[in-house]
Amino acid sequence: MQVNLDVDVASFREACSGVITKFPDLFPPDLVKLAQSAEG
């Protein structure tokens, strides 16, 4: 396994941004808030 800690956070967030709106039932609201408040 290889872990990459040097990631482009903005690009990752943009690429994944639609997942929560497309599949809202998969994510508990508290988890969504926590993820959105995370610094990166």
At 24 the pLDDT is 87
Q: Which band of pLDDT confidence, cut at 50, 70 and 90, is reported for residue 26? A: very high
* pTM score above 0.95: no
DSSP string of 2-26, one letter each residue: -------HHHHHHHHHHHHHH-GGG
Computed over every residue of the chain, the mean pLDDT equals 88
Average pLDDT value for residue range 8-14: 87
As given in the structure block, the two tokens for residue 30 are: 């508290």
Is residue 28 over pLDDT 80? yes
At 38 the pLDDT is 80
At 12 the pLDDT is 85
